[in-house]
Chain A
Amino acid sequence: MSPLRRFLLAPEAIAGAIILVALFAMALTASLFFPGDPQAIAGPALLPPFQDWSLPLGTDRLGRDVLAELFHGARTSLVVGLAAAAAALAVGAIVGTLAGFAGGLVDEVLMRITDAFQTVPSFLLALAFVSVVGPSLGVVVTAIALGAWTGPARVARAEVLSIRERDFVAGARVIGMHPLEIAFREVLPNALPAVLALSSVIVAAAILTEAALSFLGLGDPNRVTWGGMIAEGRAVLRTAPFLSIIPGVALVLTVLGVYLAGEGVVETTAVRRSLS
């Protein structure tokens, strides 16, 4: 059975894929359906959902269109989640490959640094980094990646330790390739599948961290974020709980979609088999 076929036979994986497609569609069409500033006032304040069909999900405390904010928030969540995960995977793969391939003192130093990053709660680190440097999209992405690269680094190192003993690596040495060239052109590509298997977990964690940072008021102030919407809604929790609930449901579905699709991909491709 082809991997695609097996993926399509797993109901969880399909559910995850559908959620992700919907999410990407929301992010891509945000400016199309809701041009202009999503933070502009669109109607009366605190309009409940399903009352006025020009504002289907109602409005918030300041009369902003919740549906428009939801669409634009999807964009932020996706951009931050994907960018932070990509950065974390890249840094982790490079550090892990260097540590595993070089061995000795380099390995020792790099792994102690990895330990140090794992010892500090990643959310506190992100909090400190954003509050010192100041909130903007790039800083938030960096802050999240700072706490997320250690997992990929460990996996990459473990893979590299076994790959570097293989014959083709010895062959590359014999023909006189530079050690760095061997590490990054011969060894790293072979270690990559195991590292990439972590991506769904890391993307999901990055989206959750971004939401928590925005909830505490440390998101990019110029962008709509779901975490920020929830924080806004918190002020009117008793009278208009839907303002906190709607973006929260969007977050849960997004993260769940990432998990399910990721699990589906890992289970149906060869990654898991090569791991065992």
Chain B
Amino acid sequence: MTRALILLRRRLIGSVFVLLIVVIGTFLLLEAAPGDAVDAYIVSTGGDAGMIELLRHRWGLDQSALTRLANYLWALLHLDLGQSVTFSGPIRDVILERLPNTLLLMGSATALSFGLGSALGIYAGARPGSFRDRFLSIGSLALYAVPGFWLALVLIIIFAVDLRWFPIGGIESIASGKTGLDRAADIARHLILPVSALGFIYLALYLRMMRAGMAEVWRQDFVLAARAKGLSRRRIVLAHVARNALLPLVTMLGLQSAQMLGGSVVIESVFSVPGLGRLAQEAVAARDTPLLLGIILVSAVLVIAINLLVDIAYAFLDPRVGASEASA
């Protein structure tokens, strides 16, 4: 337990610096954007030059860049991301409302790509160099080459337009009045296509990593020992080779989370899933830069949190991790 705590503390300190750099980056982008919050406000409400002057002063926008950065940081410390003009409300609330849908989509897609990818990777890596190994490697590479938004459209053409098996978009049927399990089933039906589109693209990554990892493990002495003991091939593959090759994939889960968040922008846009990604696209369409940067900040926090969780999980899974770090 102490190992994990020490690791956690070190990572947290590093994360604070990283987050600070991200904040300064978003602040610079905000500064570079044409117009400021007052311009955006005036466009929606109207007002004369005196009003603009007054608002600039009141919102502290007439101060130096450094003071404004300090104000920005101070507001962020109070979890205040500013106001969204398009949604006429606090950005924090707009984002929090959309976040659960994205987490649900990302979580399911990750489970799909990790689960199916590592299973197929084990299947391919059990017989390195065989036909099925080559077929799966090339097949997964082809899948990795598919743009997410296009796969989404193809799935819509086949399964929503032609076969009519699944709804074309949205997160649940509008005003269906469903509750409890019925509602959960309804949401699941809506999510099958977006989760497949997002999950299948990243499947190749886990498959190839699992396969490569198994190829490494096959060469090690304990596999030879297991063979000499007369264990069945199945048991060697599952209990010895696959198990040891699985560990690096866990780290990949954390590294991949940023990619998945980026990928969910187009997937959510195509399927009209009201999540963070679609919100980002709406922010771009409405030229709502503060909202867009708020989304970036929240994504960064999310990615950091996921990576922390993965690190902790890894420390528990692999007793070697942290043993040297704790003593150092």
Contact = CB atoms under 8 A, between A and B. Distances in A.
Contacts of B26: 128
A34 B14 CA distance: 54
Interface string B142-154: 1011111110011
Nearest to B261: A121
Interface in B1-27: 14, 17-19, 21-22, 25-26
A260 B139 CA distance: 12
A271 interface: no
Contacts of A118: 255, 258
Contact of A237 (B156, B259, B295): B156
A119 B284 contact: no
Contact of A123 (B138, B154, B157, B263): B263
Interface residues of B, number: 50
A121 B299 contact: yes
B141 A251 contact: no
Given A132-B29, A133-B32, A248 B299 contact: no
B289 A121 contact: no
A215 interface: yes
B287 interface: yes
Contact of A230 (B144, B150, B295): B150
Interface stretch (A55-63, A157-165, A188-196, A238-246): A238-246
Nearest to B284: A131
Given A121-B303, A128-B29, A215 B280 contact: no
Contacts of B287: 131
Interface string A202-222: 001000100110011110000
Contacts of B156: 237
B293 interface: yes
A12 B140 CA distance: 14
A217 B287 CA distance: 13
B104 interface: no
A59 to B, nearest CB: 19
A120 B32 contact: no
B258 A120 contact: yes
Interface of A: 12, 112-113, 115-116, 118-125, 127-129, 131-133, 204, 208, 211-212, 215-218, 227, 230, 234, 237-238, 241, 244-245, 248, 251-252, 255-256, 259-260
20 contacts: A12-B138, A112-B21, A115-B18, A116-B21, A119-B22, A120-B303, A122-B258, A123-B265, A124-B265, A124-B296, A128-B293, A131-B292, A133-B32, A215-B266, A227-B147, A244-B157, A248-B154, A251-B150, A255-B146, A256-B145
